[in-house]
């Protein structure tokens, strides 16, 4: 077979910012799940997940912290690099951790650039109009930005813990925040723990895509923490559906291993060579 006859390999292109805009225009809901490592990320990508969020929920899910406030930039760089190394078509979005972007847009750019160098295709940061100047600086410098409104876990100490945001008059304020972030160049906004009608209103009013978590079905896409949706832990918030019970499966596998080693049925003849 000459090289002219070689079969053409068609590779799925990376999901990018313009694909998100197209999905919104066509009314196709987009999917985002968190990912923190090279073990799980390729499985989620193979399942067709559009965007992988290296969330600072890493702090709670993987590092055993009680809060995302404890997460540092180096944690996010290492996790982002692991996810980015192991996928090729999902968009990798890296969370900017607490303390790395709030005080100064220039410092924020330097820190976001570290996440991009680690392999991110975009970064996410929490907060409203007060972040607009930072979003503008990042976007002008070539870094796509996802905003995050509603319940923002890095501000749990000022918000008084996880609770719905944007009820009543606060809805108009949230719209003003979202418009300021959109005008600054954000291409999407995560809406966390926002009433369905407010999320629907924002989705209609905004040109950028809305990605909901605990925000009802009327957003442009949905995001969940992968270990919540796969049933790894005991408890999940009411807005999560457990699509599997992987925690129980893993425990059962480990119990069988413990028993098999205990009764010497493992390793079996198929697992070793006698000579
Ligand atoms: O860190 C995270 O996992 C998040 C999602 C909950 C949106 O920000």
pLDDT at 64: 97
**Per-residue pLDDT at 1 exceeds 50:** no
Q: Does the pLDDT at position 6 exceed 90? A: no
pLDDT of residue 81: 99
> Ligand 1 centroid to 131 CA: how many Å?
18
Which residue ranges make up each domain of the chain?
A: 11-244, 246-275
pLDDT in tens, 53-102: 999 999 999 999 999 999 999 999 999 999 999 999 999 999 999 999 99
Is residue 7 scored above 90 in pLDDT?
A: no
Say if ligand 1 is within 6 A of residue 57 CB: yes
pLDDT digits (tens, 9 = 90+) for 122-181: 999 999 999 999 999 999 999 999 999 999 999 999 999 999 999 999 999 999 999 999
Show Cβ contacts of residue 264 under 8 Å, excluding neighbours closer than 6 positions.
none
What percentage of the chain exceeds 70 in pLDDT?
97
Q: Which listed residue (192, 245, 249, 270) is catalytic?
A: 192
Ligand 1 centroid to Cα of residue 2, in Å, is: 50
Structure confidence at residue 3 (pLDDT): 55
Output the CATH code of domain 11-244.
Answer: 3.20.20.60
Task: Locate the ligand 1 atom nearest the alpha carbon of residue 124 and give its number.
Answer: 8
The pLDDT tens digits of the residues spanning 186-225 come to: 999 999 999 999 999 999 999 999 999 999 999 999 999 9
The residue whose CA has the least distance to atom 4 of ligand 1 is 55
State yes or no: is 74 an active-site residue.
no
**Is the pLDDT reported for residue 36 higher than 90?**
yes
Q: 119-129 pLDDT, tens per residue?
A: 999 999 999 99
223 CA closest ligand 1 atom index: 7
Which pLDDT does position 11 carry in this prediction? 77
Distance in Å, CA 6 to ligand 1 centroid: 44
**Both ends of the chain: CA-CA distance in Å?**
44
Nearest CA to ligand 1 atom 5: 55
Is the CB of residue 223 below 6 angstroms from any atom belonging to ligand 1? Answer: yes
């Amino acid at each position: 077979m000459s090289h002219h006859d070689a079969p053409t390999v068609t590779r799925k292109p990376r999901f990018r910012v313009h694909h998100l805009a197209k999905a919104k225009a066509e009314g196709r809901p987009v999917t985002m799940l968190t990912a923190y490592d090279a073990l799980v990320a390729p499985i989620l990508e193979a399942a067709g997940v559009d965007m992988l969020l290296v969330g600072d929920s890493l702090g709670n899910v993987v590092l055993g912290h009680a809060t995302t406030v404890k997460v540092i930039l180096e944690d996010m760089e290492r996790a982002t690099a692991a996810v980015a190394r192991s996928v090729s078509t999902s968009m990798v979005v890296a969370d900017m951790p607490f303390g790395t972007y709030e005080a100064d847009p220039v410092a924020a750019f330097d820190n976001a650039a570290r996440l991009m160098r680690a392999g991110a295709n975009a970064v996410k940061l929490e907060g409203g109009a007060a972040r607009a100047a930072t979003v503008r600086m990042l976007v002008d410098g070539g870094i796509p930005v996802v905003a995050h409104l509603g319940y923002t876990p890095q501000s749990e100490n000022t918000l008084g813990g996880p609770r719905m945001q944007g009820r009543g008059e606060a809805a108009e304020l949230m719209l003003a925040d979202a418009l300021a972030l959109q005008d600054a160049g954000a291409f999407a906004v995560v809406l966390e723990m926002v009433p369905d009608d407010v999320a629907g209103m924002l989705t209609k009013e905004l040109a950028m895509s809305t990605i909901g978590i605990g925000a009802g079905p009327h957003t442009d896409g949905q995001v969940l923490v992968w270990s919540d949706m796969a049933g790894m832990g005991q408890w999940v918030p009411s807005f999560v559906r457990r699509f599997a019970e992987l925690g129980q499966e893993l425990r059962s596998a480990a119990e069988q291993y413990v028993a098999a080693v205990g009764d010497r049925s493992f390793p079996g003849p198929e697992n070793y060579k006698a000579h």
